[in-house]
């Protein structure tokens, strides 16, 4: 980050002063300790609150009423047994209804302040309070080529490349499967390649999903190989299951529920994902869309804790938005930003680790529309204190396309977003007027080159890696570089150096045991 920033800032540094510049550049280029970086994973948000306390209480009351009166249909036989055994009621209409006391009891035992482990502990995600983490997610079926302005089918190699990029992007904190490996025809092989492409590319926390409950065992065989054994896996489970256990409105997804049961028993953290679309599979009013999402995920909390009290689970309320003129999804809209921020507040209302979607662009390319959509939705998500911001980078065409160059550009966006999340540090030192006296009373009349300014260059300010802050003259002298060209160059530089993140012997064993489609 700072190396790229130095390239941009150097002409201005030359105008500051000449003496000692080489030493200052060397100091600024040295890696910062994690606690000194201007932004980092897990900084607390929560400054933005679109819902009032009364509003949150009303949403909660309506969600409980929906669970008692409407309930959910289509639970698998195993789920019926689990839920009714815990105190849910199976009606003559086949719907399972949840008494208020049951929901409250399960909320009392639900896991809080959880850690999502990574294979490298420095990337562990501590989901507590309003700590904010940004990452990928989705099931894009296309790769966006911003050079030819075209779309093609996504492959296992593309997923592996996206994971390798994420490993080297400071502001992307976790990697959940972002695209479908459409070159892998067999569904079991697809699940294996999806999981392994993520693990081979990054040591950050990974999220994955399964096409079929029958595939879970084989995928856990692979996980145990990577972890060094089942005991090691259970001690630090570094993959979570992104589980669409409901089909909105208010129906269980039978196969996903069976998968969820198997993953819980195998020690995998869960993302309880409710992804209704306001105006289509969720109610059109923003508040009522949040009510449905809360009701569905509260049913998931009961389900999980009836199997294993206190099992780590993320309250994954992901309501999306429709453009009501056409019914098409509108992931980059202001309404989407509000939905996500409102969900984040409700997560804190329940004091549960929560996740939702932001950063989705409806634009087909990494253009100005994509920039404003990603910036607005990610900023509101971060400022609302959302623990896990999924789909934050790389997603285009309302989740149909993923762009590697946009992933790189998004790292810059997230850096700026995280800086707003950090806010303004007001301390005795930061409000002391000593520096003002030195500059104004007999000093040079400016703060360029002042010791305080130089000391804060890295710890108070963040600089874009590919964004351009040159003056028009400097930009012309540099050959008029375009933003996309810089993103392509950074992407290629990372991929040229990023190797497999799995030990070579284990990698060879996995490739001998499974049909791996990427190199």
Distance of alpha carbon 320 from the chain centroid? 16
Examine the pLDDT at 509 and tell me if it is beyond 90: yes
Average pLDDT over residues 7-33: 52
| pLDDT confidence of residue 7 | 38
| Residues 225-235: tens digit of each pLDDT | 999 999 999 99
Alpha helices in 179-324 (DSSP H): 187-201, 216-227, 230-235, 254-265, 286-307
Residue with tokens 């079926």: 141
| pLDDT confidence of residue 11 | 38
Q: How far is CA 414 from CA 36, 206, 394, 397, 482, in A?
A: 18, 19, 12, 20, 20
Judged by DSSP in three states, 44 sits in strand
Average pLDDT over residues 243-260: 98
Nearest to 402 by CA among 354, 370, 369: 370
- CATH 3.20.20.480 residue ranges of the chain are 111-423+505-513
Q: Would you place residue 20 in the very low, low, confident or very high pLDDT band (cuts 50, 70, 90)?
A: low
* Percentage of the chain lying above the pLDDT 90 cut: 89
Retrieve residue 325's tokens.
């003129």
Examine the pLDDT at 501 and tell me if it is beyond 80: yes
- Tell me, what DSSP letter sits at residue 463? -
Contact call for residues 490 and 4 (beta carbons, < 8 A): yes
Average pLDDT over residues 338-345: 98
Beta bridge partners of 314: 271
Q: Would you place residue 409 in the very low, low, confident or very high pLDDT band (cuts 50, 70, 90)?
A: very high
Q: Which of 38-47, 103-112, 145-154 bottoms out in mean pLDDT, i.e. has the lowest?
A: 38-47
Examine the pLDDT at 8 and tell me if it is beyond 60: no
* Count of C-beta atoms within a 10 Å radius of residue 1: 21
Nearby residues of 22 by Cβ (< 8 Å), 6 or more positions away: none
Reported in sequence order, the residue ranges of 300-440 that DSSP labels E, i.e. its strands, are 313-317, 320-321, 355-357, 388-390, 395-396, 401-402
Judged by DSSP in three states, 131 sits in strand
- Under CATH, what is the fold of the domain 111-423+505-513? TIM Barrel (3.20.20)
Nearest to 50 by CA among 294, 346, 315, 288: 346
Contact call for residues 56 and 351 (beta carbons, < 8 A): no
CA atoms within 13 A on the CB side of 365: 9
- Tell me, what DSSP letter sits at residue 45? -
Nearby residues of 431 by Cβ (< 8 Å), 6 or more positions away: none
Retrieve residue 392's tokens.
């934050």
pTM: 0.93
| pLDDT confidence of residue 360 | 97
| pLDDT confidence of residue 1 | 36
* Percentage of the chain lying above the pLDDT 70 cut: 94
């Amino acid at each position: 980050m700072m190396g790229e920033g130095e390239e941009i800032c150097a002409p201005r540094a030359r105008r500051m002063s000449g003496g000692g510049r080489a030493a200052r550049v060397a100091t600024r280029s040295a890696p910062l300790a994690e606690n000194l970086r201007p932004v980092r994973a897990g900084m607390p948000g929560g400054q933005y609150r679109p819902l009032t306390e009364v509003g949150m209480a009303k949403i909660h009351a309506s969600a409980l009423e929906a669970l008692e009166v409407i309930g959910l249909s289509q639970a698998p036989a195993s789920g019926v047994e689990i839920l009714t055994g815990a105190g849910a009621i199976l009606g003559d209409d086949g719907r399972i209804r949840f008494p208020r006391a049951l929901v409250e009891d399960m909320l009392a035992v639900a896991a809080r302040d959880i850690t999502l482990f990574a294979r490298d502990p420095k990337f562990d995600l501590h989901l507590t309070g309003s700590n904010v983490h940004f990452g990928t997610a989705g099931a894009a079926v296309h790769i966006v080529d911003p050079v030819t302005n075209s779309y093609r089918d996504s492959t296992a190699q593309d997923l592996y490349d996206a994971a390798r990029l994420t490993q080297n992007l400071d502001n992307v904190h976790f990697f959940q499967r972002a695209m479908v490996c459409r070159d892998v025809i067999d569904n079991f092989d697809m699940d294996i390649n999806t999981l392994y492409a993520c693990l081979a590319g990054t040591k950050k926390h990974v999220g994955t999903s399964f096409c079929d409950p029958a595939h879970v065992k084989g995928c856990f065989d692979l996980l145990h190989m990577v972890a060094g054994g089942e005991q090691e896996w259970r001690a630090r489970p570094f993959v979570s299951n992104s589980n669409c256990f409901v089909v909105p409105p208010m129906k269980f997804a039978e196969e996903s529920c069976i998968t969820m049961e198997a993953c819980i028993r195998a020690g995998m953290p869960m993302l309880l994902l409710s992804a209704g679309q306001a105006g289509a599979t969720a109610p059109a009013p923003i508040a009522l869309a949040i009510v449905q999402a809360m009701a569905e995920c509260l049913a998931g909390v009961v389900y999980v804790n009836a199997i294993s009290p206190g099992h780590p689970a993320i309250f994954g309320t992901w309501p999306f938005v429709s453009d009501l003129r056409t019914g098409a999804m509108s992931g980059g809209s202001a309404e989407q930003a509000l939905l996500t921020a409102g969900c984040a507040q409700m997560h804190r209302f329940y004091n549960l680790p929560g996740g939702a979607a932001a950063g989705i662009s409806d634009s087909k390319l990494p253009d100005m529309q994509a920039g404003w959509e990603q910036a607005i939705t990610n900023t509101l998500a971060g400022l609302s204190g959302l623990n896990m911001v999924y789909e934050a980078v790389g997603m285009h065409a309302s989740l149909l396309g993923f762009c590697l160059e946009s992933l790189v550009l998004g790292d810059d966006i997230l850096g700026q977003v995280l800086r707003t999340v950090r806010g303004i540090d007001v301390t005795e030192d930061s409000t002391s007027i000593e520096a003002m006296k030195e500059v104004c009373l007999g000093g040079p009349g400016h703060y360029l080159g002042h010791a305080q300014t130089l000391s804060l260059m890295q710890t108070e300010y963040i600089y874009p890696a590919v964004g351009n802050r040159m003056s028009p003259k400097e930009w012309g002298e540099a050959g008029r570089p375009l933003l996309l060209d810089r993103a392509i160059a950074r992407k290629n530089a990372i991929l040229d150096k990023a190797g497999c993140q799995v030990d070579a012997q284990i990698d060879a064993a996995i490739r001998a045991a499974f049909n791996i489609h990427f190199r």
